[in-house]
Structure 1
Amino acid sequence: MSSYIGRFAPSPTGPLHLGSLYTALASFLDARHYQGTWLLRIEDLDPPREEAGATEKIIETLQAHHLHWDNAVVLQSQRSERYETVLENLADTGHSFFCTCSRKQLAAYPQGYPGFCRHHQTQSANGKNAAIRLKTDGIQQTFIDLLQGQQQLPKRPDGLTNDFVIKRKDQLYAYQLAVVIDDIDQGVNVVVRGNDILDSTFKQGYLYRALGHTPPAYLHLPVIAAADGQKLSKQNHAPAIDNNQALDNIRQALALLNQPMPPTHLNLPNTLLFSIEHWDRQYLSRDAWLTTADNVSG
């Protein structure tokens, strides 16, 4: 493999919480352990879900925890022209189509897309807003996750496809489109992220194939839940990380990652240096979920 390039790509829906710090730390340590580059990208493509000032808070938290990235921060909101160019290319090569299906229509087909609009190569003439979907053509997607092992997308029932939205009806670019284009353009070849989006990897694989690129290697971590079993997230009111407790936060995240614990006398920079040196993927849990009660920090 060429030189390791990894990234952390949060959405600015709120400040970082323990679950997002845990993911950022894993991505950072994996990249630094393998002498790689670690990038920061802000996935700010969904304004209705974003919180004012969240981007700045995310950056402040990463800096306070000494998770320093390489190169300039990339903002997806500044890359619309690039996304549009790729959409035009996908249309020109027959890889995409316009879809005017309603949510009500699609609700009757929870196991896949029924293909109603596959013949729509141009915007609908009836004036409806249309989404854009990628054609998947029944190709079976498999990949080997660096932590979870062999993964295979289940076959759809006859008559249904895996075709998925790459530009929404509200004209916002879909996550699947933007993340693949950005990872290609930034040369990302290792992605460390949460297990809750493992299924997105199959969709992204279709898009990489359509664009003539090889997907990166993936490592999907267990998702962190609170003691009550709910995923740590803004929607579930997960508390924001306290930047004044950075060393304690890092040690808590290291415990959740099941990594060797640095000596307690080390300061934050030296704690991270110790953890970079001793990082080992083999210690990571392969469970789908961990709770904060699993934290056994020493």
Structure 2
Amino acid sequence: MNRRYPPVSLIGAPTDIGAGDRGALLGPDALRIAGLGAALAARGVDVADRGNLTGPRNPWQPPIDGYRHLPEVVAWNRAVMEAVGAELREGRLPILLGGDHCLGIGSITAVARHCRDTGKRLRVLWLDAHADFNTHDVTPSGNIHGMPVACLCGIGPDALTHLGGDAPALSPAQVRQVGIRSVDEGEKRLVKEHGLDVYDMRYIDEVGMKRTMEEALAGVDADTHLHVSFDVDFLDPSIAPGVGTTVPGGPNYREAQLVMEMIADSGRLGSLDIVELNPTLDTRNRTALLAVDLVESLFGKSTLMRD
């Protein structure tokens, strides 16, 4: 399928401020070393690499009032929100290179504001092993990379739920989660209470990835901005070991390719996060290379010409 994409901007956010393991701060440069920019350019995409954002270092402290590193998380997410928003206003497609998944708060807050300003409907595809719908009440770790969906839906500290001046940035009805296979006990109650649309691995096993993605993309049309938040731990750790929170039983290579190809077929991709890549846990940058391969499919690479 020969489709023209808007110009793309790569935005690095080298921090593991919200994670439980060090190393995700190296993710942006690992993706660059794996050839992300060149791969997209080879597909005819206009790519500009904006370099890396700067922010506070990781103090590696225990939780305070249930949250680890909250001031630093807010600072990083504000920087991400401003950078992503600036690219959207220029008509470009921002690709956030994380960094841990707490950065999705800033990225998606910017996208939600852009959609309100332009009259677009927003659909978020959350590709992840985890629901990330925790609060400080139900998680003992206080790691904010387990809370971004809750924060975006208005559940969490004011500094994050009101990051863009509006709360909530999202309603649960705008989110589709695919590949989920690890949800904490207290988190399960919150997911059910708020009606989050979750396609967990049992559902995928029962109906197949094709039907799952058809349902997740149902209603996406020309008036829809599709944001994909791709946590690399979405993938089975047998093919993607370079993450801090591996969970067995994830999508295999072909299933992941189908996910990306069906998103590409929708023609509605407007913004992308690639997060939680941890090169310190990887082997010869294998996981970054796989992520680049999948992003190529997200931008239209397929075995045959399809129409």
After TM superposition, the score normalised by the length of structure 1 is 0.30
Q: Name the structure where helix makes up a greater proportion of residues.
A: 2
- Structure showing greater radius of gyration is 1
